[in-house]
Amino acid sequence: MPDRGGGPTGPRIRVGRPSRRVRTLLMTLGVLAVLGMAFTMFAGFWTDWLWYRSVHYSSVFTTTLWTKIGLFFVFGLLMALAVGLNIWLAHRLRPPLSAMSMEQQSLDRYRMGIAPYKRWLLLGITALVGLIAGASAAGQWRTWLMWVNGVPFHQKDPQFHLDVSFYAFDLPWYRFLLGFGFAATILALIAAALTHYLYGGLRITSPGARATAAATGHLSVLLGVFVALKAVAYWLDRYGLAVKSSDFKATDNWTGLRYVDANAYLPAKTILFCIAVICALLFFATLWRRTWQLPVIGFGLMVLSAILIGGLYPAIVQKFQVQPNEQAKEAPYVQKNLKATREAYGIDGTKVSDYSGTSKTSDKTKLRDDVDSTASIRILDPNIVSPTFQQLQQIRNYYAFPTNLDVDRYTKDGKVQDTVIGLRELNLNGIPKNNWINDHFRYTHGYGVVAAKGTAADANGQPVFTESDLPSRGDLGTYEQQVYYGEKTTTYSIVGGPQKEIDYSDDSGEKTTSYKGKSGVNLANPINRAAYAVAFSEPQILYSGAIGEGSRILYNRTPKERVEAVAPWLTIDGDAYPAVVDGRIQWIVDAYTTTNGYPYASRTTLGDTTADSLTATNNSRAVVAQQNQVNYIRNSVKATVDAYTGQVKLYQWDTQDPVLKTWMKAFPGTVEPKGAISKSLLSHLRYPQDLFKVQRELLTRYHVTNPTTFLTGSEVWQVPDDPTNKSGNAVPPYYLSMKMPDQSSQAFSLTTTFTPNGRDNLSAFMSVDAQADSSDYGRIRILKLPTSTTVDGPKQVQSQFNSEQDIAESIKLLKGGDSDIEYGNLLTVPLDGGLLYVEPVYVRGGGLKYPLLRKVLVSYGDKTAFEDTLDQALNKVFGAESSTTPPPDQGTTPPPTSSNPTVQQALDDAQKAFDAGQTALKKGDWKAYGEAQKDLEDALKRAEEAQAKADKTAGGSGNGKSGSSPSPSGSPSPSGGSGSG
């Protein structure tokens, strides 16, 4: 037989070639296709670069890009060399002659077929595996950057006494290298074996030896490398036990060593490491001994040892040592898990206090007064009233508010008040006519802030707006009102060019504007226009006359999207919220640093632990990176996005977080120091909801510090389902200003409740100080109720509301006709040893498309009230009126009289309007009710004007001042609101 590398001989057969014209056409089409694909790839790269440069975070783009390129080429080249070198070596070690057998005759045909293309085939195979390996390695850019820039935690794990940074930053990189080594070795082994088989070095059915000496030595070395890597894997597995997750009766997400790990798996891994090293040496020795006998025996021993030592022995230890005395055996390891988990999630400073759950005060007036000093009870639910904001403050159809509004704090007359706030954002679905010019050039932005008191509603159940109208005006002063970046702004806009934009409309008509900011990417450059035309699949960008000098394209316009883009190493909170800061609207975004490698800390999945009844109905409120499993989290960064310029700023919030320090080292200059946060911005920062939800989920088990109690599970809590709807999802946490029993004054707080596992009564109340400028910011307090007595939980309180006959009949009346009831947030407030529950009730019915506050439910102890206002409900529950606020009218006294006939006539009209309104309310006739309320307001205004005129005529006795005019019985004064604050 000829040499295995010989090619076919004999005459060549000429195949008909296509004509020159056809060849030219095909070549032209091929060149155009390649150029098209190249420009498409260039367009994506170029537009990304332009965007990062426009937001002044080009270093993030370049660092990430060069890291990916470096990993791609280094590991792609290593993989290509590993496979290509072994194919070349196997071909070089081929035997000069092959055995005479049917097997070799069949292979001769393949050898002769590929002989002319051997070099190209080798290049193709190595290029393919190199590309795949390089692409895979490029995806590990975060792992590489964390390893090369990692800083110490200055905390050591309790088992191996290594710094936590080894597990968080080093071990993931070592595991990647190990995985890459396994992949390279396996692919090289397969490629070498196939080459040896193709060229006769390995034989299956041929007579004689099954492998040549050269093939035996070559493959033995590769198998030795594989076993050596397995030895390294066994050694790393020892440390991996500290971050290994397993099912354990104490928790489903247990992480860290247990008794069986420390006393069976750990020594087993060490023994297996030694066996694997010996086995690898036996494979390498085949280079000299040229026999498989000892390596095969060694490999078999390693497999048997893995089964017996690594599997059977730990099972025996678990069965016969641990299970008979589990609590005593596991307690030391549970203690380590408790400590590490509480530290990793920032709940180690949680203060748990006993709370009786029942009030001991007999002074009803004092108890009623304590309500006002204990909490500023928010009756305006930001998750209910968005349609009301929409109906009353939308002004134009091309504006819209988010589905869920936000709660913030603003100061007026030196007093901080909780405020429900939303931006009037652009709504393209509401523009008069959709076309490319309108969608992207004319209607480009929203306009203004709308805000309302969180603790009040007016006589009609509508919000008491503190900032409203278009342009917006009110308590927030002067600020830049144009909203080019917002939660609902998901499409691109082209601004600043020859095409004027619609700014807003008023009674005098449409006002136009042209964007003056420096945000976005300049489209004056034809290359930029071409790139965006390709990237956005919008050819009109290339040739439209609406684009000219000064035109800029704005995109990536939602706050979370922008922060995630400039800081891809952060996990973004689900709720970005707006605030007016120093004359500008700023979106505030909370961001987290996380790791999955904190030893002994139990893991959680962010998407699961942050889910509640709000995220179930509004995906935009869900945390970014839903599937991320973490066992360490810090709210280390506070970010802002300017609603006009889109400018993104990242501020260091947690100055001790080693994960953030690592990323700041990898991306220098991207995060500003904490001291750069202005005082005015600091007053609007708050404790983030998603972090709070993660912590409360962990605290359902990790509020205990005793390992025996933890193991028994007797103190396990659960987050109750939201009783105000039937979604079956967890109740969301609520912001409100309140004080806990150990606090001297109210603080802006985030609160939640716990119930026993599988039961509905209350187990505990949890609060965290959410006020960023407070010295107690982030301090978690838990009031633990006694297990010997039963205190109603949220679901039971809601059931009590619904089951009381008087309340049920009132609700039935409110539901009359086609009206619907919507329950607002059920707020819980600790008060004098007991729990005060407050829930606003909204009605949406008749011709109304939006909910109005009609009733307030209050419960304290065994008392329940369902009244028109919060003050009335509190007075009824406590059986006393507040000594600090004037008593509301109860509707039982006769209407006031006046000696002035004009005033008396107006008061009579007001009484008639009030009576008509009450009759309409009972019938559920909301149209008639609205008309009656308007008549009532007109009558009261006439009475006030007439009284003022009479007082002036009489010499100005002062009885006619605004807000002091008499009102009909039971009717709230329009100048004073409903009194429900």
The tens digit of pLDDT for each residue in 810-850 reads: 888 877 767 788 889 999 999 988 999 999 999 887 666 78
Is the pLDDT at 970 greater than 50, yes or no?
Answer: no
* Average pLDDT of the residues in 349-363: 87
What per-residue confidence (pLDDT) applies to 965? 37
Find the range with the poorest average confidence among 220-229, 752-761, 876-885.
876-885
What per-residue confidence (pLDDT) applies to 3? 44
What is the identity of the amino acid at 338?
A: L
**Better-predicted residue by pLDDT, 75 or 27:** 75
In angstroms, the CA 276 to CA 229 distance is: 9
Cβ atoms of 190 and 197 closer than 8 Å = no
Strands (E), 438-566: 446-447, 449-457, 463-468, 473-474, 482-483, 493-495, 501-506, 509-513, 521-522, 552-554
Is the pLDDT at 891 greater than 70, yes or no?
Answer: no
Cβ atoms of 596 and 630 closer than 8 Å = yes
Instruction: Respond yes or no on whether the N-terminal peptide bond of residue 18 is cis (omega within 30° of 0).
Output: no
What per-residue confidence (pLDDT) applies to 924? 61
Find the range with the poorest average confidence among 13-22, 243-252, 853-862.
13-22
| Tokens coding 258 | 């247990």
Tell me the HSE value of 50 on the side-chain side, using a 13 A CA sphere.
23
Is the pLDDT at 18 greater than 50, yes or no?
Answer: yes
What per-residue confidence (pLDDT) applies to 131? 95
In angstroms, the CA 748 to CA 322 distance is: 48
Nearest to 137 by CA among 61, 44, 70, 66: 70
Please give the model's pTM, rounded to 2 decimal places.
Answer: 0.84
Nearest to 168 by CA among 151, 191, 186: 151
DSSP string, 29-71: HHHHHHHHHHHHHHHHHHHHHHHHHHTT-HHHHHHHHHHHHHH
What per-residue confidence (pLDDT) applies to 918? 66
* Average pLDDT of the residues in 617-641: 84
In angstroms, the CA 399 to CA 389 distance is: 11
Helix (H) or strand (E) holding 402: none
What per-residue confidence (pLDDT) applies to 571? 93
Is the pLDDT at 566 greater than 90, yes or no?
Answer: yes
In angstroms, the CA 206 to CA 25 distance is: 52
Digit-coded pLDDT (tens) for 854-866 = 899 999 888 898 9
Cβ atoms of 890 and 782 closer than 8 Å = no
In angstroms, the CA 80 to CA 127 distance is: 6
DSSP string, 795-807: HHHHHHHHHSHHH
What per-residue confidence (pLDDT) applies to 955? 44
Place of tokens 């040896």: 196
Confidence band for 288, pLDDT divided at 50, 70 and 90? confident
Strands 577-581 and 604-605: unpaired
Cα end-to-end span (Å), the chain: 101
In angstroms, the CA 822 to CA 609 distance is: 26
Cβ burial of 583 (10 Å; 0-12, 13-18, 19+) is exposed
In angstroms, the CA 3 to CA 112 distance is: 10
Count of CB atoms situated within 10 Å of the CB of 412: 13
Strands 415-423 and 449-457: antiparallel
Between CA 709 and CA 766, with CA 355 as vertex, the angle to 5 degrees is 75
Nearest to 628 by CA among 664, 595, 676, 666: 595
Digit-coded pLDDT (tens) for 358-372 = 888 777 888 888 888
Confidence band for 100, pLDDT divided at 50, 70 and 90? low
In angstroms, the CA 526 to CA 384 distance is: 48
Confidence band for 901, pLDDT divided at 50, 70 and 90? low
Q: Which residue pairs from 58-66 have beta carbons closer than 8 angstroms and sit at least 24 positions apart in sequence?
A: 59/667, 59/668, 59/669, 59/670, 60/566, 60/567, 60/568, 60/667, 60/670, 63/145, 63/666, 63/667, 64/141, 64/568
Q: Measured between alpha carbons, how far is residue 413 from residues 363, 409, 886 in Å?
A: 32, 13, 21
* Average pLDDT of the residues in 776-801: 89
Per-residue H/E/C for 928-941: HHHHHHHHHHHHHH
What per-residue confidence (pLDDT) applies to 214? 85
Average pLDDT along the chain: 85
Helix axes 58-92, 171-198, angle to 10 degrees: 30
Q: What are phi and psi of 353, to 5 degrees?
A: -120, 145
Cβ atoms of 71 and 134 closer than 8 Å = yes
Confidence band for 948, pLDDT divided at 50, 70 and 90? low
What per-residue confidence (pLDDT) applies to 250? 59
Find the range with the poorest average confidence among 274-283, 444-453, 506-515.
506-515
Confidence band for 148, pLDDT divided at 50, 70 and 90? very high
* Average pLDDT of the residues in 159-181: 96
Confidence band for 29, pLDDT divided at 50, 70 and 90? confident
Nearest to 652 by CA among 165, 642, 667, 607: 667
Nearest to 218 by CA among 89, 100, 309, 347: 89
Q: What are phi and psi of 269, to 5 degrees?
A: -65, -35
Is the pLDDT at 898 greater than 50, yes or no?
Answer: no
What per-residue confidence (pLDDT) applies to 30? 79
Digit-coded pLDDT (tens) for 523-550 = 988 999 999 999 998 999 998 889 988 8
Cβ burial of 600 (10 Å; 0-12, 13-18, 19+) is buried
Confidence band for 289, pLDDT divided at 50, 70 and 90? confident
**Better-predicted residue by pLDDT, 416 or 952:** 416
Strands 351-354 and 780-784: parallel
What per-residue confidence (pLDDT) applies to 927? 67
* Average pLDDT of the residues in 952-970: 40
**Better-predicted residue by pLDDT, 120 or 452:** 452
Is the pLDDT at 735 greater than 90, yes or no?
Answer: yes
Residue count (the chain): 981
What per-residue confidence (pLDDT) applies to 837? 93
Is the pLDDT at 954 greater than 80, yes or no?
Answer: no
Confidence band for 780, pLDDT divided at 50, 70 and 90? very high
**Better-predicted residue by pLDDT, 592 or 252:** 592
Place of tokens 């296709």: 33
What per-residue confidence (pLDDT) applies to 215? 85
What per-residue confidence (pLDDT) applies to 805? 81
In angstroms, the CA 426 to CA 445 distance is: 5
What per-residue confidence (pLDDT) applies to 82? 95
Find the range with the poorest average confidence among 246-255, 594-603, 851-860.
246-255
Digit-coded pLDDT (tens) for 182-229 = 999 999 999 999 988 888 777 776 665 677 888 888 998 999 999 999
Confidence band for 596, pLDDT divided at 50, 70 and 90? very high
Nearest to 555 by CA among 506, 485, 503: 485
Confidence band for 951, pLDDT divided at 50, 70 and 90? low
| Tokens coding 12 | 């060549």
